[in-house]
Structure 1
Amino acid sequence: MMDLWTSAEIAEATGGAASAPFAVSGVAFDSREVGPGDLFVAMKGETTDGHRFVDKAFGQGAAGAIVSEAVDHPHILVPDSAAALQALGIASRRRMQGKVIGVTGSVGKTGTKEALFLALDRAMPDAAHRSVKSYNNHVGVPLSLARMPRTSAYGVFEMGMNHIGELAALTRQVRPHVAIVTAIAPAHIEFFGTEEKIAEAKAEIFEGLEPGGTAIIPYDSPHVATLYGKAERHATHILTFGMSEEADVRALDVVPAPNGGSIVTAKLPQAEICFTVAAPGDHWVSNALAVLAAVEAVGGDLAAAGLALAEMPGLPGRGARRILPVEGGEALLIDESYNANPLSMAATLKQLGREKAERRIAILGGMRELGDQSASLHAGLAEPLEGAQVDYAILVGKEMEPLASALGGALPHAHVPDTAAAIPLIQTEMRAGDAILVKGSNGVGLSRLVAALADAARDGDMN
């Protein structure tokens, strides 16, 4: 197997000095993730210093390190480890000769990135690379770039932001041939003030497009004109996707699939395809259309993409579904615990309303970074809750007070201060035939509730 990086290549890319020759097969900046053969990047942060964990990293098998202080292990010495990681990412992108796709959006970017990777990998196994987890910020993106094998035919990178200018910096590192905006929603609106400004910030992804590049835009978004206007200044080709007849990539027909999900007939500029989307919900149909647009734009295999979409499993925290054994039968747990904003809340509640269940239970955590609009946006969830015919809701966190007030006595609910209080409540409440949606901003910690229910099911402690 070809080395990911040699010490000489790392030194040249970062301007650092190598203490000894070595080669690495991976890159990590979190010592807990270091494995045999990895390069450990020891960075200094506000609360900790990675140099404290160098010995631990080598104890776990690290082959080398990037450091700003000399250590008693093979290393590249640089003035600034964070800047060196960025330089290594840029060097990785420079040597890669394949096609690169960048993905951003207020909702759906991680799922779209994963689906796109699976679509490309289905046609060319082991030839596609993507950013793992949600490594989409100023350190996650260069890390994901630095991990990209030099022979990759495709690279798929997720990019996030919560301030003006952040995406512009990231997209100039990624230099995508294709740039996707999945959707615009009031996520991080605390830092922008309006959705229009969020759209403007998301459109920064087009600034890094390579010559001849393609911009992929959600036609059904109320901000399509803003996105299109920015794309026109940087993209050679623009593709829109959506349900509208005016979209370049559009769903001609959508029907429920027998095991959940959707059967979709889609029209593209050069093809028409019928495929299944395993993940349930209208938002996943939209994500799938963006995926197909990107696959066509890079000359990929649309048939293989359709098969990948049919086979894609739910992602932990982003739609993973688990059957829990409970007294007298089973309950369905839908794990959407990783993140939430008003648009994604409404979409997942709509899908909950379609689930065949004796009862529908929604466990909703507060939505963060909504600023002055937080109270009204939380209260606004009353309508989608009632529209989904939810039988019982558990509202978690102080942010949910306006929603509790808006519901009044119209829908049975409990408002609890935190996840710790919600866990025993749902353990007592749940019963056979329930469909239980768990969704909230990551900071609320509803993943701990999901883990507690999974652990109880594994140990046979469900009521």
Structure 2
Amino acid sequence: MLNILGAFLLYLAIALFFQRRILRYLRFFQQQEYKNRLYLEWILEKRAFDSRASLLLACLSVIALFCGQSNELFILAAQLLAAIAIIIIPCFEEDPRKFGKVPLKMTERALRIYRLSLVLYSCILLLSFITLPSQSLILQSLVLIFLVQSTPLFLVAANCLLQPFEQKLQQTFLNEAKAKIRSINPYVIGITGSYGKTSTKSILAELLNVALGPTFWPPKSYNTLMGITREIRERLVPGYRYAVVEMGAYGIGSIEKLCELCPPKAGIVTAVGLMHLERFGSEANVFCAKSELAKAVPKDGILVCNGDNEGARQIAAQNPKAITLLYGLDCSKGHLDCTVSEVSFSEEGAHFFLHWKGNRHKAQTKLLGKTSLSNILAAFTMACALGAKPELLIAALQNIEPVDNRLSLQKIGDVLWLKDAYNSNPEGFAAALEVLQAIPASRRILMTPGMIELGEKQYESNYNAAKKAAGICDLLIIVGVTNRKPLEEGLMAAGFPKEKLLFMPGRQEGFEFLSDNLKTGDVVLIENDLVDLYEPNTKF
């Protein structure tokens, strides 16, 4: 009887432990967009296996091995203490719904996966409790260790079982969104590119709102099929004349599906670059994916492309429309319909002359960096092509605020913070360093984990960025280990002083160091911030 009671307490503790621990795994599963293969690869790469509960169970099996089953009261006491300890473990772990750079959002889909995984796990636990002999504590402990270690697999299993339901539900939502956008019938402008999509979307939408009429656009970086679907279902209402839709490519065919949902009458291609090269496999696949928007724009539509970018310029040449326009900063690469000159940066923003249709307009903006100017040119060119008056757009540019963590400048006390923490890329990194160099400072400090998802170009891109930073920065902090080697080697190759180079295990440690060591007149550039998936110190 005591054996059964002890086993029951142990199994109950594991069930309660799973209920909390699975939420931590679910946060990372959500960040992998519920992609089973990517999630399992992350588990193996990071060795994200349990150590705490498994160690307790292993100790319990050792106790049973040396003590045998003769002393039932002693074994029961050991099981009780182990059960209490296992229940307590999650109480000292962070709540993933409140903790992390990207906390767990308990969406309806996340709740479905969570609840089904609980059901599956409970069934396996119950089956194990019924079938295993209660007097065999060693066997029980080994089985429970296996179940604890396989915790993340239950999320994958639940996700697979729910897949048919999710697909049917998503199709229902898609049909509703398609019907709604066709009923309201706004003039749809699609925006895609390896970088610059979100900022260009925000700038264009604000310009159209001022110059041409009510404009709908999804917030933040919403650019997936189901993300756009949700925004259309929940926020698109009659009265909107224009809709600016950011179209992200997560593989060949992604943008094509978005164009089926929101048939574009005009499109902007900001760049064809190296971002997410690992996801696509080759630069040719990136080009093919980004071309899908241009192909979807009708012959009598408008196509605006970045003339500074070879891939975007090529897309424009291969997909001519009734109106095809090129914008850019570098006239040496060929004809440009819209460009700038006499650019200068300060704490207040950028001052420049904008050239359009043979006219020269004096302009200023709160936005910083050449990448921001490129995004402004894209939005300005499209707005003019749609009929907006250039003078009105120039005036509106002065009031546009930077998108969060995209070269936004903030003064805290006597220190300037240049925040460019969102999804860094080689062009954006270089532009941020130029802004850092342009701002007067007693010390210029860079904190970065480097750039990711660049495939075989990742080492080279980080190495080159570090060489450029070496000639600008007085102090450099490398965060994490993901790109430590190329960044360090690039800095050393450029002759950067070793004593001015610091390594921090994570972002939090970097900020703690800065808070204790910043001086009056310092300017700090925060370049990129990797999501929790890249944190090296995830412990279970």
TM-score by length of 1: 0.74
- C-alpha distance 258-225 of structure 1, shift in aligned 2 (>3 A): closer
* Aligned partner (choices 313, 316, 320) of residue 228 of structure 1: 316
Partner of 1:350: 434
The 1:237/1:48 distance shift into structure 2, 3 A limit, reads farther
Residue of structure 2 aligned with 1:407, choices 477, 486, 491: 491
Provide, for residues 191-228 of structure 1, a one-character-per-residue CA deviation record: whole Å limited to 9, x for no partner: 23443432332121113224511111111112245312
| Alignment counterpart, residue 331 of structure 1, candidates 415, 433, 454 | 415
What corresponds to 1:372 in structure 2?
456
Q: In the alignment, what sits opposite 1:25? A: none
Superposition deviation, residue 292 in structure 1: 1.1
Q: Is the 8 A contact 2:212 2:388 kept in 1?
A: no
Whether 1:398 aligns to 2:481 is yes
Rg (Cα) greater in structure = 2
- Decide which of 200, 203, 206 is 2:294's aligned counterpart: 206
Query: Which residue in 2 is equivalent to 1:142?
Result: 229
Pairing 1:239–2:322 present? no
**How far 1:272 sits from its partner (Å)?**
4.7
- 8 Å CA contact retained: 1:397, 1:444: no
Partners of 1:370 and 1:225 in 2: how far apart?
21
Partner amino acid for 2:397?
A: L
Q: Number of aligned pairs?
A: 376
List gaps (5 residues or longer) in structure 1: 1-31, 33-40, 53-76, 447-463
Q: 1:364–1:230: structure 2 CA closer, same or farther, 3 Å change rule?
A: same
**Within 5 A, what are the aligned runs for 1:262-281?**
262-269=350-357, 272-281=360-369
Residues of 2 paired with 1:380 and 1:255: CA distance? 24
Against the structure 1 CA distance between its residues 305 and 315, is the aligned structure 2 distance closer, same or farther, given a 3 Å change threshold?
same
After TM superposition, what 4+ stretches of structure 1 lie above 6 angstroms from structure 2?
none
Can you list the C-alpha shifts for 1:153-208, whole angstroms capped at 9, x where unaligned? Answer: 11111111232221121122221221101123210011234434323321211132
TM-score, normalising length from structure 2? 0.64
Quick check: 155-164 or 218-227, which moved more? 218-227
SS at match of 1:422: helix
CA distance in 2, matches of 1:432, 1:365: 25
Assess, with a 3 A threshold, how the Cα gap between structure 1 residues 259 and 426 changes in structure 2: closer, same or farther.
closer
Instruction: Encode CA deviations 1:416-440: one digit per residue, 9 max, x unaligned.
Output: 2221321212112212101111121
Cα 1:258–1:362, aligned 2, differ >3 Å: closer, same or farther? Answer: closer
Q: Which runs of 5+ in 2 are unaligned?
A: 1-96, 98-106, 119-164, 535-540
**Is the CA contact 2:340–2:353 (under 8 Å) kept in the aligned structure 1?**
yes
| Contact 1:248 1:268 survives alignment (8 Å) | no
- CA deviations over 1:377-410 (Å, ceiling 9, x no partner): 22221222024x1111111121221212332361
The answer on 1:131 being equivalent to 2:218 is: yes
Greater percentage in helix: 2
Q: What secondary structure, in the 3-state scheme, does the structure 1 residue paired with 2:256 have? A: helix
Cα distance, 1:417–1:176 mapped onto 2, change above 3 Å? same
Q: Specify which of 257, 276, 280 is matched with residue 169 of structure 1.
A: 257
In proportion to residue count, which structure has more strand?
1
Structure 2 counterpart of 1:192: 280
Q: In the alignment, what sits opposite 1:91?
A: 179
Deviation, structure 1 residue 135: 0.8
- Distance change (3 Å), C-alpha of 1:196 and 1:347: farther
Structure 1 partner of 2:469:
385
Aligned to 1:298: 386
Contact 1:365-1:444 at 8 Å conserved across structures: no
> Would the alpha carbon gap of residues 195 and 309 (structure 1) be closer, same or farther in structure 2, given more than 3 Å must change?
farther
CA contact (8 A) 2:305 2:325 kept: yes
Once residues 344 and 79 of structure 1 are traced to their aligned partners in structure 2, the CA distance between those partners, rounded to angstroms, is 36
Corresponding residue of 2:68:
none
On the 8 A contact 2:301/2:323 being kept in 1, the answer is: yes
TM-superposed deviation, 1:313: 1.4
- 2:511 matched residue in structure 1: 423
Q: Secondary structure at the match of 1:340?
A: coil
Identity of matched residues, %:
25
